[in-house]
Structure 1
């Protein structure tokens, strides 16, 4: 049996659905973009100013055209991934502005950090996608548009895994799409997965809507992901937060399908609670994991792929708190069968900071979570009755064919966790951090760039030269 975390009954899911319909019909949503308003009005919604009121028929029609599963393509076809169904795709961290080196205080991210992350993630067996806003580096003399263009180009340049897209504002989205068109030589397909975040409660901003419209017109994948904080930007109750977030997501689904029926859309959520003492976001809270379980159930209810969770923590360093919170977050994410796990490694300080050592340690946590999700395999062979009887009381099973046939699949094998005998001279407080540091350093040293076709490489460099009148910093 495979363990599947479900925190809502069918009756509770349907109660959330009914409450969501009431919110969409009575309170409506703010859409702060004229084209979005025109599309929604043409699709049958009641529009008053920038407020849009939805009806049930609109929602039903949108859910019929949104795909249950889609292929996110990589420039190396062998690394393309399916989004949806029973598949869990591990995606990289995004949006961090600081980096914390081993044993040091955090510092502002620079371009070298971004390039190192792309190289590390490219080689990692844990991550299924790469690119996007892994960190937001400070590059002296660069505009915001050129900074993000450089990040987009670097993701494709240094990795042949599927790419996460950027959805910060229109010009950056256009650059993401144009670079991807060069990589894939303008053939049809879904080769970017971007994220649009509603402004909770119940608002889609002009910038997010501009990104949504551009991605949907191009047939690229979109994660719709509220980031509300219960008690601050959503109701204090988790059930109320789910109703509000559900309304925000479903309203976005309707718009994507009006723009381009069949646009791949992912039911996402990264909401949690506000800390009562500080009023800051609490990523390490157990309530986040309860929301993760509920969101995945709602996604399945609507036959949409899901995105939740990650290896999340509010801790400021590689300490017990970081491990404790990251394990709870990751295990609940995988056990509730999330389809896309953004921030699946490396996060510290409530999304603000990334640690390369934690990135490697979280790969270990991801392996543990995947093994837990596999559950127990019970059949005539695994029950091992003949083995038990043949060895009898006092025997052992080290040298049996049954052991040889099963131990690799049955057991999870750690790379970092210490299972050796105690050594008095060893400093166990720093052991895992030092091991993780060596792993990422060795990975950088062993990195080999997956070459682009010569014509594509030349076209990319020419594109950047024409746009910014210089060659990319990393070439």
Structure 2
């Protein structure tokens, strides 16, 4: 017996924008580039764009749609990052979501001393130690001031083999970091084949590319490592107050960076980023709200339209400690990243102060999300008619071979969340989740020190 014309959906699916809506945003971005144009602060890039056929008047560049679309076509559909053993571990391609942790927060919570203080280099090293053993953390991100970037990059690498997303701080420090990455990879060509790092560049002025970002874009393309260009937007502040208008404007800036990148080195790996923020009463940027996730989800739809890998800031929280707010926002944001299909999110486990307990908690949240998005397989094996008939009425399936085969994959077993009833929980240890997370973080640090 065989079945025909059977359509299956294994994974849960989510669509925010239709193909027509995405295409309309794309056309709006092209119109912005042709009509309004972009301010470029680099003479080198201005000459490059002029030679390519763009209209250049002073620092203002207007990009014809044909030039932009040619750059989109030349950018690879996927990029891959490798760990320090050369194992290709982070795949940036359609329907693959990777989570990473940003290392380099200004403040850090020390669970052992129960105090929040100015972060030091040791805190970055401790976060790297924890990231290394978190199975759902795929990469780490290093963010530091220019004078500290190279030292932090070296320090993090001592404690994790996972790929590093290096925030671009300035051209000089980035070049030194890229040269070090070449040494670790075994040469420049080997770094291109199996990059152990990627470069992150950002701008909060969507229609302006600074001289420094221009040079770092060019440098990343020349070395052939994946480069993220992320336009950070605050709807109603540096972008229109509507989702569609904000995304169209930010997308225009990203497409300009993509064009510069591909004119430098055709086929160099590029990753699109549009990250959103809100502004609180004190003028600080916040990122925990659902409207932020909506904008980044729309950006994920755009990247799939272009068939270019995507970046977003999912998985974080505005909470200042590992509390209920941190858990709520991290869970919602992590789910949103999966729904958006964003290939690379580096705010996982990030609160306003660095917090190892929060990082470990979000690793478990990602595990739950992964389990949910495995979905449901419907087949003769997963609907065992013979077994159901054999067990019959009122029987049990506990000892059946079918149960032994499927129970581990069918059920999510948390490490830190409670699944016991109150009496057993109280008798065994009575520890809440935060206490368990603190114990785990201290064990990891002590184990890494012994290693």
Q: TM-score, normalised by structure 1?
A: 0.86
**Alpha-carbon displacement from aligned partner over 1:293-346 (angstroms, at most 9, x marks no partner):** 21111101001011123212111222211111111100110132211121122x
Task: Give runs of aligned pairs for residues 162-201 of structure 1, distance below 5 A.
Answer: 162-188=163-189, 189=192, 190-201=195-206
Residue of structure 2 in register with 1:111 after alignment: 121
2:317–2:329 contact (8 Å) kept in structure 1 = yes
Deviation per CA, 1:161-205: give whole Å up to 9, x if none.
Answer: 222223011111111111112112324113321111123231112
* Alignment partner, residue 361 of structure 1: 361
Find 1:22's aligned residue among 26, 31, 37. Answer: 31
Query: Is 1:242 paired with 2:247?
Result: yes
Structure 1 residue 131: Cα displacement: 4.9
Q: Distance between the aligned counterparts of 1:246 and 1:179, measured in 2?
A: 32
C-alpha distance in 2 between matches for 1:383 and 1:238: 43
Residue aligning to 1:455 = none
Query: What SS does the corresponding residue of 2:102 show, helix, strand or coil?
Result: coil
> Cα deviations across residues 264-289 of structure 1 (Å, max 9, x unaligned)?
101112213345x5554331111122
Describe the SS at the equivalent of 1:106: strand
How big is the alpha-carbon RMSD for the aligned residues of Structure 1 and Structure 2? 2.3
Q: Secondary structure at the match of 1:7?
A: coil
* Change beyond 3 A, Cα 1:174–1:287: same
1:210 counterpart residue number: 215
Q: Is the 8 A contact 1:27 1:53 kept in 2?
A: yes
Quick one: distance in 1 between partners of 2:419 and 2:196?
41
Residues 429 and 20 of structure 1: is their aligned pair in 2 closer, same or farther, counting only changes over 3 Å? farther
Structure 1 residue aligned with 2:278: 273
The 5 Å alignment of 1:75-224 reads: 75-102=84-111, 104-133=114-143, 136=144, 145-188=146-189, 189=192, 190-224=195-229
Cα distance in structure 2, aligned partners of 1:98 and 1:152: 18
Match of 2:5 in 1: none
1:377 CA drift (Å): 1.4
Shift of 1:90: 1.9
Cα deviations by residue, 1:137-177 (Å, 9 ceiling, x for unpaired): xxxxxxx5552221121233332222222301111111111
- Out of 424-433 and 115-124, give the one that drifted further: 424-433
Going from structure 1 to structure 2, the CA distance change for 1:201 and 1:335 (only over 3 Å counts) comes to: closer
Going from structure 1 to structure 2, the CA distance change for 1:410 and 1:193 (only over 3 Å counts) comes to same
Alignment of 1:311-326 (within 5 A): 311-326=315-330
Deviation for aligned residue 1:109: 0.5
Aligned positions, number: 436
Report which of the two has the higher share of strand. Answer: 2
Asked whether the 8 Å contact 2:79–2:93 carries over to 1, the reply is yes
Which residue in the other structure is 1:331 paired with? 335
Distance in 2 separating the partners of 1:384 and 1:308: 41
Q: How far did residue 50 of structure 1 move?
A: 1.3
Given the superposition, is the C-alpha separation of residues 449 and 181 from structure 1 closer, same or farther in structure 2, using an over 3 Å criterion? farther
**Structure 1 position 449, deviation (Å):** 9.7
> 1: CA distance between counterparts of 2:151 and 2:283?
35
Partner of 1:413: 413
Relative to 1, partners in 2 of residues 1:382 and 1:271: Cα closer, same or farther, differing over 3 Å?
same
Q: Distance in 2 between matches of 1:167 and 1:426?
A: 51
**Displacement of 1:94 after TM fit?**
4.1
Q: Secondary structure at the match of 1:224?
A: strand
Q: Deviations over 1:327-385 (max 9, x none)?
A: 1100110132211121122x113xxx211100000000111111122111111221233
Query: Structure 1 residue runs of 4+, over 6 Å off?
Result: 426-430
SS at match of 1:226: strand
Structure 2: how far apart are the matches of 1:287 and 1:172?
A: 35
Alignment counterpart, residue 229 of structure 1, candidates 234, 238, 244? 234
Rate the CA distance shift 1:449–1:340 in 2: closer, same or farther, 3 A.
Answer: farther
2:6 alignment partner in structure 1: none
Gap change, CA 1:146 and 1:185, over 3 Å in 2: farther
Aligned twin of 1:372? 372
Structure 1 unaligned residues grouped into runs of 5+: 137-143, 451-475
- 1:295 has 2:308 as partner: no
Structure 2 gaps, min length 5: 1-9
* Alignment check: 8 A CA contact 1:164 1:194 kept: yes
Gap change, CA 1:64 and 1:78, over 3 Å in 2: same
Residue 441 of structure 2: aligned partner: 440
- Alignment-derived partner of residue 470 in structure 1: none
Structural mapping, 1:62-81, within 5 Å: 62-81=71-90
- Contact kept, 8 Å, 2:311 with 2:345, in 1: the verdict is yes
CA contact (8 A) 1:4 1:336 kept: no
Question: TM-score, structure 2 length as denominator?
Answer: 0.91
Within 2, Cα distance between the matches of 1:23 and 1:413? 50
Counterpart CA distance in 2 for 1:38 and 1:428 is: 68
- SS of aligned partner of 1:47: strand
Q: Aligned in 2, Cα 1:70/1:118: closer, same or farther, shift over 3 Å?
A: same
Give the direction of change, closer, same or farther, for the CA distance of 1:80–1:375 in structure 2 (3 Å limit).
closer
- CA offset at residue 229 of structure 1? 1.0
Q: Is the 8 A contact 1:296 1:306 kept in 2?
A: yes
